[in-house]
Amino acid sequence: MINCAIPVLGLVAYSGTGKTTLLKKLIPLLRNSDIRIGMIKHAHHDFDIDVPGKDSYELRKAGADQMLVASSQRWALMVETPDQDEAQLEYLIQQLDTTNLDLILVEGFKQVVYTKIECIRPSLKHDLMCLDDPNIIAVASDAPLPDSVQIAQLDFNNPELIAHFIQTEILDQSPVSSA
């Protein structure tokens, strides 16, 4: 299980299910309850967060192993890791300043052992992950699920309900919250 001073909760699903869309609705709801959120998103391919033609992109592409871009509003650190294996979730969590967070949300890393909510749309005909992963504590679905699902079932189209579940079942149950 992931070792972290604050709760870590993942949303896992097959590609195209709507994890990002749901997170874009959940994050403001949680923020409205004064929950400070860190977010880690897994990408399965090469990606860039800076734009070709911008100085930061050009300097990184010129060979900088680490590129930090900063302004009065935000900063971002890009680290080149061409000869490394896939980044481990626990390592990525350690890069966050958890002293200024209440919750870390993760999109992806479905094979890692940590607390997760599965998102599924039965119309897409994917297998349920929760039947084989005891770390999935709830399933958010847009249709009824089979009786074999013996964990909390949440309405995928009701982000308010899912945010409430996260507050009551993750944050309120956390040893950090009750201390």
Domain ranges of the chain: 8-45+85-178
Q: Which residues pair with 168 in a beta bridge?
A: none
Pairs from 123-132 (Cβ < 8 Å, separation ≥ 24): 124/14, 124/16, 124/17, 126/13, 126/14, 126/17, 129/12
Instruction: Quickly tell me which residue has 């896939």 as its tokens.
Output: 86
In CATH, which superfamily holds the domain spanning 8-45+85-178? P-loop containing nucleotide triphosphate hydrolases (3.40.50.300)
Q: For a pLDDT cut of 90, what percent of the chain falls above it? A: 67
| pLDDT for res 138 | 98
Least confident of 23-37, 79-93, 149-163: 79-93
Model confidence pLDDT, tens digit, residues 113-131? 999 999 999 999 999 999 9
| pLDDT for res 160 | 98
pTM: predicted TM-score of the whole model, two decimal places:
0.88
Both tokens assigned to 3: 């070792």
| pLDDT for res 76 | 85
Distance of alpha carbon 114 from alpha carbon 137, whole angstroms: 10
